[in-house]
Amino acid sequence: MTNVRQSRRLWLWYLPVLAVTCSFAGPFLWMLMTTLKTRVDTFAVPPKFIFEPTVANYEAVLNSEFMRSLGNSVIVALISTVFSITLGTLTAYGFSRYKFRRSDNVLFWILSLRMLPAVAVMVPFFLIFTSLKLLDTHTALIIVYSVFNISFAVWLLKGFFDEIPIELEEAAMVDGYGPWHVFRKVSLPMVVPGIATTAVFCLIQSMNEFLLAFVLTTRNATTGPVALSKFQSAVGVNWGEISAAAAMLVIPIAIFTIIVRNQLIRGMSFGRLR
């Protein structure tokens, strides 16, 4: 009896779970479907769920300028992420382990960089990079994205470092290691899950960014999201090709997430130390 009742109740639990999953995955699946549809099928009412798939959209995108932009996106996002994670990890460790006067204020100042709306700094950035002759270069975007990502990484990673019991580092010190090796051999390996999580966030942020990329690039360094917007033309919007391009923009993030997935899961179960 109770077993039946329990399994029925368990089943009921799946309803909200399913609802949430659908609301998140639905639009994404819709987009994937659109990539395989012809123009006519895309606008069919009622929407077609069974149709004859076509790879024409992908073919068009693969042969277009968009691939270059996708490459730009990947280069900018990867370099900015590596840069942000490296600096962020070191800074976060410093803030976590060495308290100094007003360190909390400094920390908040770092976070406030992340709170800045892009619109607010758009024009200054434009002027700065104009005078530095860095407009329309990868370097400009890497610098700008790192400003946002470093502050984010510092905050997230400080939380992970704070969770490491101080005795672990003390034990390593007593065992004969200096400060650098304590960091390298004890603290750093323990925040790898945190680093993986932060890296995924930074990567998504950099791959997604539109406004600043739109303002700071014109042709050579155009990123994926900016290129996407250019699929709208005078003759109308080609949704099939836009969807195909968007799907390809997801691929680098998906690959990275799959590579670090074990660490992400460990990141969620972090804190079970003894």
State the residues that interact with other proteins by CB under 8 A: 165, 167-168, 170-178, 181, 185-186, 189-190, 272-274
Minimum distance, C-beta of residue 163 to other proteins, in the bound complex (Å): 11
Q: Which of 224/267 has CB closer to other proteins?
A: 267
State in angstroms the smallest separation of the CB of 188 from other proteins.
10
**CB within 8 Å of 8: residues ≥ 6 apart:** none
By beta-carbon proximity to other proteins, the closer residue of 177 and 239 is: 177
- What gap in Å lies between CA 216 and CA 140, rounded to an integer? 8
Residue with tokens 């990673």: 157
Cβ proximity to other proteins: between 115 and 181 the closer is 181
Among 122, 84, 105, smallest CA distance to 198 is for: 84
Structural tokens at position 167: 């005795």
Backbone angles phi, psi at 60, to 5 degrees: -60, -45
CB of 269 to other proteins, least distance (A): 10
Nearer to other proteins by C-beta: 47 or 178? 178
3-class secondary-structure state, position 233: strand
What six digits make up the tokens of 201? Answer: 């966030």
CB 187 within 8 A of CB 126: no
**Residue 37: CB partners within 8 Å, gap ≥ 6?**
48, 51, 53, 54, 57, 240
* Shortest separation between residue 119's beta carbon and other proteins, angstroms: 43
When the beta carbons of 137 and 263 are compared against other proteins, the nearer one is 263
Nearer CB in complex with other proteins: 115/171: 171
Structure tokens at 125: 């950035």
Taking the complex as a whole, the smallest distance from the CB of residue 207 to other proteins amounts, in Å, to 30
Closest contact distance (angstroms) between CB of 181 and other proteins is 8
